[in-house]
Amino acid sequence: MKRNFMYVIGAAMLVTTLACKAQTAKKAKANVPSYEILNLPKVDLKDFKKNAAGAYVIFDGTSLKGWRGYNKEKVPAKWGIEDGMLKFSKNPAGVTNPDGGDLIFAHDFKNFELEFEWKISQSGNSGVFVLAKEVKDQPIYISSPEYQLLDNENHPDAKMGVDGNRKSGSLYDMIPAKPQNGNPAGQWNKAKIVVNNGKVTHYQNDVKVVEYSLWTADWTKMLQSSKFSQAKWPLAFELLNNVGGKSKSGVIGFQDHGDDVWLKNVTVKVL
């Protein structure tokens, strides 16, 4: 009789514990502000050529076909082509009151290899985003991991964060690029980001510098230790903890951080 009584008490405690956890989860969800994912025009990859390696050339140095502003239907005036390079210009020549904003390639990618070359201006800062969603009235980084582009020697961000996790090639504010082999401002760097079934790998100048897995307990833990934690930024935590949404896919984007940045040889190989 005593044993049966203990079983009943134990079962009741388990039910109470599960109910409390469910209540806590519901309360946490309730604290997330409402948001809207926009469904803006996308492009078909079949309209783009492949290179010898089988990767789609999404910027060929002559056209901005397939590109537009984040949450926009046109390319912002601060983005353009200069000498065959994709460039963000802080003060583009001959343009009065130019609009800016992040630039995206308007196609949802899931498993892929993104490769490009980049160089940054003195004290410059920029970034690259993957699996991003276009969230109304919100910045691109609220839903997307960021591969940092930075002048490590002169931009103050290089000394912020933890263990250099805001330097070039890093998963911004979460994992530092190691080894840190970024070239100085004005010199070209090679970058590659591989996304394959949630495993993300960063390469900088042909060296693997970062590796992590999305949609895992470790990923959630990293978010909680960053500026995107549930306590500091509930909406960012919600979106980043579920990167890519139900489809686990999203757009690729380059950041307008207000500093000149140049990009070339931008290709994506679908895995």
- Domain containing residue 4: 1-30
Q: Is 204 part of a structural domain of the chain?
A: yes
Per-residue pLDDT for 25 more than 70?
no
Pair (50, 165) in one structural domain: yes
Residue 4: which pLDDT band, with cuts at 50, 70 and 90? low
Q: Is 177 part of a structural domain of the chain?
A: yes
Q: What percent of the chain has pLDDT over 70?
A: 89
Give the span between the Cα atoms of 193 and 171, in whole angstroms: 11
Per-residue pLDDT for 9 more than 50?
no
Please tell me the predicted confidence (pLDDT) of residue 6.
47
How many structural domains is the chain composed of? 2
Q: Is 63 part of a structural domain of the chain?
A: yes
Q: Is 62 part of a structural domain of the chain?
A: yes
- Do residues 251 and 39 lie in contact, with contact meaning Cβ atoms separated by under 8 Å? no
Q: What percent of the chain has pLDDT over 90?
A: 86
Pair (71, 96) in one structural domain: yes
Pair (72, 205) in one structural domain: yes
Please tell me the predicted confidence (pLDDT) of residue 18.
47
Two structure tokens written together for 3: 């044993």
Per-residue pLDDT for 159 more than 60?
yes
Per-residue pLDDT for 10 more than 70?
no
Pair (13, 61) in one structural domain: no
Give the span between the Cα atoms of 207 and 202, in whole angstroms: 8
Pair (96, 14) in one structural domain: no
Q: What is the mean pLDDT of residues 47-76?
A: 97
List, for residues 208-233, the tens digit of each pLDDT value.
999 999 999 999 999 999 999 999 99
- Do residues 133 and 249 lie in contact, with contact meaning Cβ atoms separated by under 8 Å? no
What does the DSSP assignment read for 121-153? Answer: -TT-EEEEEEEE--BTTS-GGGSS-EEEEE-TT
Please tell me the predicted confidence (pLDDT) of residue 172.
97
Q: Is 35 part of a structural domain of the chain?
A: no
Q: Is 260 part of a structural domain of the chain?
A: yes
Pair (204, 116) in one structural domain: yes
Q: What is the mean pLDDT of residues 238-246?
A: 98
Pair (94, 163) in one structural domain: yes
Lowest mean pLDDT among 20-24, 139-143, 237-241, 266-270: 20-24
Residue 183: which pLDDT band, with cuts at 50, 70 and 90? very high
Please tell me the predicted confidence (pLDDT) of residue 29.
57
Tell me, yes or no, if the pTM score tops 0.75: yes
Please tell me the predicted confidence (pLDDT) of residue 93.
87
Pair (114, 237) in one structural domain: yes
Pair (150, 193) in one structural domain: yes
Q: What is the mean pLDDT of residues 105-120?
A: 98
Q: Is 250 part of a structural domain of the chain?
A: yes
What does the DSSP assignment read for 217-264? Answer: HHHHHHHHTSTT-TTT-HHHHHHHHTTTGGGT-EEEEE---SS-EEEE
Please tell me the predicted confidence (pLDDT) of residue 19.
45
Pair (171, 219) in one structural domain: yes
Please tell me the predicted confidence (pLDDT) of residue 22.
44
The residues, ordered by sequence, that sit 6+ positions from 85 with a Cβ below 8 Å of its Cβ are 61, 262, 263, 264
Pair (13, 138) in one structural domain: no
Per-residue pLDDT for 179 more than 90?
yes
The CATH number assigned to the domain holding 180 equals 2.60.120.560
Q: Is 189 part of a structural domain of the chain?
A: yes
Pair (13, 91) in one structural domain: no
